Each structure stands twice: as C-alpha cells, then as structure tokens.
Amino acid sequence: MDGIQIALLGAALAVGLAGIGSAIGVGIVGQSAAGLVTEDPDKFGQTLLLQALPGTQGIYGLLTGFIIMQRVGIIGGELLPLSVANGYAFLMASVPIAIVGLLSAVYQGRVSAAAVGLVAKRPEELGKGIVYAVMVETYAVLALLASIMLLFGIPV
Amino acid sequence: MPIIEMKKVFLLGHRNEKELVFDLLQKLGTMQIADIKTGSTWDEFEALLEPEHPTESASDFDNRLSMIRYCLDFLQRNFPMRKSFLQQFTGAKMELTRAQYGAYIEDIGQVKELYESCRQIDDELVQIRNEETQYTNLISEMAPWKNLEVPLEETKDGPFAVMRLQIIANDHLEYVKGKLEKEIPNAYLEVISGDNEHLYFFFTCLAEDYQQVLEIFKEKAVTAAAFPGFTGTAKNNIDDLQKKLENLEQKRAAALNKLEDLLKYRLLLMACYDYADNEYRKLDAVSNLARTDNSFLLEGWVPAPVVADLEYTMAAKTGTAIVVSRDPLPREEVPVLLHNKGPADAYEVVTKLYSTPRKSEIDPTPYLAPFFFVFFGICLSDAGYGLVLSLIALFMLRKLKLGGMGKQLLQLLFYGGISAIVFGVLLGSYFGDLLKLPALWFNPLEDPMRMLFYCFAIGLVHIYFGMGMQAYRNIKAGHPFSALFDQGFWFIFLNGLIMLLLPDFSGIGRYLALGGAAGLILTQGRSQQGVVKKFFSGLLSLYNITGYLSDVLSYSRLLALGLATGVIAAAINSMGGMIAGSTVGTVFMVLVLFGGHLFNIIISTLGSYVHTSRLQYIEFFGKFFEGGGRSFQPFGIKNSYIDVVEADEAL
C-alpha cells in the first residue's frame, strides 16, 4: 500500500464519521421539531435554528477532509508522492474530528431536541437552549482545532 | 449608569379622575404598576384604605376580547395567514395609520355581529362534518353488500322464514357450510363478497330451524349485519349516500364562501383586538390600587429621569392627581431597566439572553461589547463576508423597523460584519481566497500557531477583565481584602506562571508564582474553622488553576472558527474553479460560488454568534456576573396585531 491511500482513508473517516454523527444529531432534533410544529407551525424558524446546531460537526469533518485532499494534492495541484509514514500521519491527524465529531453531534442533537421542548413552552428562552447545545459543540471545535494543527504540522 | 435608577412613586387622586389618570399612564408607558396590597407599606395603609376592584366595563371588554379571539382563531384555522420565515423570528404586524386605526375602532360595535356569523358558520361546519362521518361510516358498512339483489328491508325475521346478512372470518366458512349441509339441508347460504379477513354472506332458513343455526354460528363467532330503516338494495342506498355527501361538500363550500366574505373584516378584528386588549388592561389595572370613599392611591416604579415628566403631565392634565416619589428601600425588589448609549445598546441583547442583572449589580453590557465585537470579527474574519453581513443587517434594519431585541440583534450583526471586515483585511481573507490580496498583518492559514497565541492572549485579557470587575464589586461592597485575596493573588499567581514559561522573565516569574500561591494557600481557607482545615482548603484551592487553564484554552475556538470560515470558503472557490471554462461551466461556477458563499456566511455567522456568546456567558460572566434581576415592564400600550404608524410611513 502506498501512503496516499492511507491519507485518503483519513479524509474519508473525517468526512464520513463526523457526517454520520451530524446526520443522527440533526435527525433527532428534526423529529422533535416536527412534533412541535404540528402544534404550532409558527415555531418553524426557531426550531430550524436548533436543528442546524448539530450539523456543524459534519462541516468540520468535511473541512478536515478538504484540507487533507488539498495537502496531498488531490485538488488544486499535483498528486504528491507520499511515504507510508506520512500517509499514517494524515490518517492519525483526522482521528480527533472523526471520533469527537461523531459522538458530540449525537449528544448535541439530544440537547437540541430537549431545547425544542424548551422553546415549545417558553419561546423567549431560545437563547438559553442554544447555549446548552453549544456547550457540547465546544469539544467538536477543540477536536477540529487539533486536527487542523496536526495537518498543518505534517511536513510533506 | 447603564442601569437606570428607579423611584418608587405614589400617585394620589380624586376618584372622578381615576380613568383619566390610567389613560395618561398608559399613554406615557413609563410606570410599572405594583400591586399596592403586596407592597411593603400596605400594613400601614390597611386600616385606612380599601382595595379597589375592576368595574363591570372591564368584564365587558374581556367578553369582547374572547369573541374577537374566537373569530380570529376561526378565520386563521380556515384561512391561515402565513408568516414568512423571517416573520417567525420578528413577528408580523399590520401597519395602519392613526386615522385608519381610529376608523376601525369606531366599528367595534360590529364585533358582536361578526361573532354571531362566525359562530353560525362554525356550527354549520361542525354539523356538516358530523353528517359526513355518519354517511361515510354507513357507506363502508354497506359496501360489502353492494352486489346483494335482496332489498335491505327484507332481511329480517319473518313468521316462517329468516333472512339474514352475516359476516364470518375467512377460515371458518368451510366448516360452517359443511355443518349446515349436514344438519339443516333447508338452509341457503350465498357469499356476496369478501376481503382479507371476512366473508360477507346472505343466509336464509326456516324460522323453526334458526335456533339450531344460531348454535352453529356461535361456535365460529359469526356476526350479523343489519340496516334498520333502510329500504331498497344496498347499491341504491350507497348511491343515495354518495349523493348526500356531494351535497354536503357543496354546503361546506357555501359555508366557507360565507366565511371568506368575512375575511375582509380580519383587519378590523385585529385592530379592535388591540384596542379592547389595551382598554381591558387599563381597566383591570385598577385592581392594583386602593381607595377611600373619594380618593384613590396607586403605587409603582418609574425610572428616575422621567419622574419629573410624570409629575408635569399629571399636574397639567388632571386637577387632583399628585405624584410623590421616594428612593427604593433596601429590601424592596426593584425592577431593572438597562440603558446603554451608542453602539453598546446593541449588545444589551447578549446580556438579556443570559439574564437581567440585579439592581445592585453592574450591567456588564458596555464591558462585554468591545470583546464581543472583536471575537465575532475573529470568528468570521473575512472582509467579503463581513461586508455582505453588514449590508444584509442594514437592509433588514431599514426594511423591518423592528423594536427591542430584534433591532438590537440586527445592529449587533451589523457591527459584527464591520468587525469581520477589519479582521478580514488584517488576516487577508476576501471571500476566502477569491481575491488574492496580501494580508495586512499575517495569514493565520500559514502560521496558525501565531494566531493561536494571540487568541489565548486576548482571552487572558478577557478573563483578567472579568476578575477585575469582581474585584471592583468586592471593593464597592466594602470587602477590599476579598478583592486582594480572591482576585489579586490569583492575578499574581497566574502572571507568575505565565512568566515562568517565558525565558526572559522566568526569574521574576518564579517569585511571583510562589508568592501568589502562598497568598492563596494562606487566604482561600479563611471561611473554614481551625488552622488545619484553613490550610488544607487553601491548598486545595490551587486546584482551581485547571479552571483558569481550561478557560484560556477555550479561546482557541476563535482560531478554529476563523480557520473553518476561511477553509470552507477556499473549498467553495476551488469547487467553482474546477467547473469553470466553457460558457455553461462559467454559469454553474457563478451559481456554485453564490450559493456556496451564501451558505458559508449563514453557517459561519451562526457559529460566530453562538460561540462568541458562549465566551461571554461562561468565561466572562462566570467571573463576576450573577444576574437574576427582574426586568422593568411598564404599563403601556401593547399591540399584538397592529403597528400604528404616522401617515407618511404607511405602505
């Protein structure tokens, strides 16, 4: 196996796992939001905002995948000859956002779904519901930061 | 002072002018009326005064309100007024000029009539719905017998023979048939139709045999169907019913047509609702005051700067009303009104989303405003995006004419956009890398560690500022030593630790860190009993260093979000670049660039806003701000549906 395949596995995991997490998280919120909107269609905007929150992990994953693709030259340049060791370096750099993105999106989805319940009874407290959800996202942001720093640190 | 000082106001007047006084108060909208019976001075007054109750006209308005609410709900149910996506956040009100509004109010007498008509149509619709269910049920019951030639009225028990319609589970037919053939050869059975579960059959036999037949039927749970009161075949009846259903449908359309004619009164109803609601609240507010035979006393809170206005208005417009004010007593719960001048006003929304400050607290708004401005800019950090965001916010401010928190939020986004332009220019990002202009300062994509360092530094300033605020609070509350012990020693200790990391300062840093730590160990256990306990809880308090560490590390999100904006933008640009070339490709490229960047602006703005807010709430407020005050809610005109505007502004 060449280095490039291993690096691409890293990109695939970052995009895939974080994306799965976001899909689950957004799905959870969507279900409770739809329940609320049957009662009160005017809450669509507010609940859509809450539903968008666990979607960011997928974007962070895509971002990480994109940086890997750019660094190895899949997009915007020549394909670099990668050693196996360098390939593994890319794979490992993608691990933080892949794993943390997957799990944090699911839990952020649960918090956001609970916040939908909060908005149902007290629409004026949307801000607080968002803050609770953002507390979870912190760790996805930190994982993204770790992944990005690792990726920029790999000498190619 | 960002928190406006409040005065407790007592208003005394003659009972003849009670309505006038409340009218004036509502128009001024500067007084939060307090229930005098729960006030601190009620004990002194109780012997002299009686509580007042709302008059009958209040319940008149209440009745009218429930009628209007019913009509509006009914109209909304059948002819919903859609709110646009934006209006769901901002609320949508109709704009009317004062003259139009007045004209509608004149017609408030029509409400009763409209209510009667709505009620009538509603009853009609309910009736139609009931009949409809009845007919559809009958149709589905008769459907299996559609092919039966025997008229329904003949399926009955005669003196000599019995004719019946029977239903049986699919599997049991063979058994019943076999048994009947064996035991009652005179019986006749014909299957009319069947579905997945049941078979429907016509059955006839001699009356004398029927007892025996019933035994067999019971064995396999055969049930009977009967349609008493119907004549003719099932098919004829079904056709009849279907015709009736069509009739009902026409009736419903007619009823809805009638209702649609009433739609033109919706605006009238809305205007009357707002009017009646305000009148009702005015009349109901009376229950907060106390009276003697000829005078009344009212208690409330008024912002100190407008007390003079109130006094003036009362003196000018009434003959008897007297306003007396005093400063709040220490135990009284005073409502809090925030007032910030200039751009800081927009950032009130951040504070209010967390909590209204207490009366005795500092309003954190002006202090968080500059940090919020800078953090938001670093998170978005793109000159192009900032420009677009500012323009959108400005456009919406002009177009929507919001008040209160909606307006503040838009202003906040406008300033955020400006901040993003500044940082975009400094860090060299224009729609990602669409315009390849050099950074004025440095590009964080090339040197992320440097940017991370700056993020931590600015975070440290933010945290120190919060600690400084708490120290100030302590000193103001008369605890200068608490300020020294709880904030001063931490400040020394933290700075010492940081200097230890810098080679040039490590010498001083060591002493500072040790001195600060010693101070903390000696003082942090001061609330404990006994020397040993004091020492150990002092020692344990050093563990809080992890809290400060995680607080500072938390500011790394500024870098992460900034990078995310930039890299996603770059990704959109390179996707656009891949399909460019031919004419069709270029068209698609423009679409990809437009859609992609718009998406990125929305998602990045959302991220910037929520994460910047979080840094204020957790890292900054955690140091000094408690909140939990009650906000000032003046008695004034409140409209749910109508915005009264001056004539030249109306659409």
Residue finishing a domain among B168, B198, B226: B226
Residue of B nearest to A132 (CA): B614
Q: Indicate the residue type of A124.
A: E
* CB pair distance less than 8 Å for A59 and B564: yes
Q: Indicate the residue type of B534.
A: K
What's the mean per-residue pLDDT of chain B? 87
Q: How many domains does chain B have?
A: 2
Q: End-to-end CA distance of chain A: give it in Å, rounded.
A: 18
Residue finishing a domain among B200, B226, B252: B226
Same domain, B349 and B483: yes
Same domain, B207 and B346: no
Dist CA B506 CA B512 (whole Å) = 10
User: How distant is the alpha carbon of residue B632 from its chain centre?
Assistant: 20
For residue B71, which of B31, B111, B125 has the smallest C-alpha distance? Answer: B111
Residue of B nearest to A69 (CA): B571
Residue of B nearest to A125 (CA): B353
A47 vs B: CB within 8 A: no
What is the mean pLDDT of the segment spanning B100-115?
86
For residue B405, which of B466, B335, B334, B354 has the smallest C-alpha distance? Answer: B354
A149 vs B: CB within 8 A: yes
Contacts of A128 in chain B (CB under 8 A): 353-354
Dist CA B649 CA B297 (whole Å) = 40
For residue B646, which of B100, B103, B98 has the smallest C-alpha distance? Answer: B98
A52 vs B: CB within 8 A: yes
pLDDT in tens, B230-279: 888 888 889 999 999 999 999 999 999 988 888 888 888 888 998 888 88
State how far residue A105 is from chain B, nearest Cα, in angstroms: 15
Among the partner-chain residues B88, B557, B603, the one whose CB lies closest to the CB of A138 is B557
Token couple for B392: 């959108």
Backbone angles phi, psi at B280, to 5 degrees: -60, -45
Backbone angles phi, psi at B7, to 5 degrees: -115, 140
Token couple for B55: 């008059």
Contacts of A59 in chain B (CB under 8 A): 564, 568, 603
Same domain, B214 and B346: no
**pLDDT(B555) > 60:** yes
Mutate to test the interface with A, among B408, B606, B631 (most CBs of A within 10 A): B606
State how far residue A88 is from chain B, nearest Cα, in angstroms: 22
CATH number for the domain spanning B194: value is: 3.30.70.100
Examine residue B500 and state whether it is found in any structural domain, yes or no: yes
What is the mean pLDDT of the segment spanning B6-28?
87
State how far residue A22 is from chain B, nearest Cα, in angstroms: 14
B622 vs A: CB within 8 A: no
Q: Which long-range contacts (CB under 8 A, 24 or more apart) does B249-254 make?
A: B251/B124, B251/B128, B252/B125, B252/B128
**pLDDT(B307) > 50:** yes
Q: What pLDDT was estimated at residue B40?
A: 65
A83 vs B: CB within 8 A: no
* CB pair distance less than 8 Å for B611 and A59: no
pLDDT in tens, B309-359: 888 988 888 888 888 888 888 878 888 888 888 888 899 988 888 888 888
Q: Indicate the residue type of B169.
A: A
pLDDT in tens, B452-491: 899 999 999 999 999 999 999 999 989 999 899 989 999 9
* CB pair distance less than 8 Å for A45 and B89: yes
* CB pair distance less than 8 Å for A42 and B83: yes
Please list the alpha-helical segments (H only) found in A73-125. Answer: 84-121
Residue finishing a domain among B226, B251, B274: B226
B561 vs A: CB within 8 A: yes
Examine residue B231 and state whether it is found in any structural domain, yes or no: no
Angle at B414 between CA B412 and CA B415, to 5 degrees: 65
State how far residue A109 is from chain B, nearest Cα, in angstroms: 16
Residue of B nearest to A146 (CA): B560
Examine residue B62 and state whether it is found in any structural domain, yes or no: no
Examine residue B434 and state whether it is found in any structural domain, yes or no: yes
Q: What pLDDT was estimated at residue A57?
A: 92
Dist CA B286 CA B280 (whole Å) = 10
Dist CA A102 CA A61 (whole Å) = 9
**Confidence category of residue B88, pLDDT binned at 50, 70, 90:** low
- Whose tokens are 């698609």? That residue is B588
Same domain, B210 and B350: no
Examine residue B106 and state whether it is found in any structural domain, yes or no: no
Q: Which range, of B75-84, B172-181, B371-380, B513-522, averages the lowest pLDDT?
A: B75-84
Examine residue B308 and state whether it is found in any structural domain, yes or no: no
State how far residue A75 is from chain B, nearest Cα, in angstroms: 8
**pLDDT(A80) > 90:** no
Number of C-beta neighbours around residue B477 at 10 A: 11
Q: To the nearest whole percent, how much of chain B has pLDDT over 90? A: 28
Number of C-beta neighbours around residue B626 at 10 A: 12
Examine residue B195 and state whether it is found in any structural domain, yes or no: yes
User: How distant is the alpha carbon of residue B284 from its chain centre?
Assistant: 27
Cβ atoms of residues A116 and A108 within 8 Å: no
Dist CA A26 CA A32 (whole Å) = 10
**Confidence category of residue B599, pLDDT binned at 50, 70, 90:** very high
Same domain, B503 and B361: yes
Beta-carbon contacts of B637 under 8 Å, excluding residues fewer than 6 positions away, are: B26, B27, B29, B278
Beta-carbon contacts of B263 under 8 Å, excluding residues fewer than 6 positions away, are: B75, B79
Domains of chain A: 3-153 (1.20.120.610)
A82 vs B: CB within 8 A: no
Please name the residues between 51 and 90 in chain B that touch chain A, using a CB distance below 8 Å: 83, 85-86, 88-89
Same domain, B350 and B210: no
Residue of B nearest to A143 (CA): B560
Domain membership of residue B201 as a residue range: 156-226
* CB pair distance less than 8 Å for A127 and B561: no
Examine residue B92 and state whether it is found in any structural domain, yes or no: no
* CB pair distance less than 8 Å for A145 and B559: yes
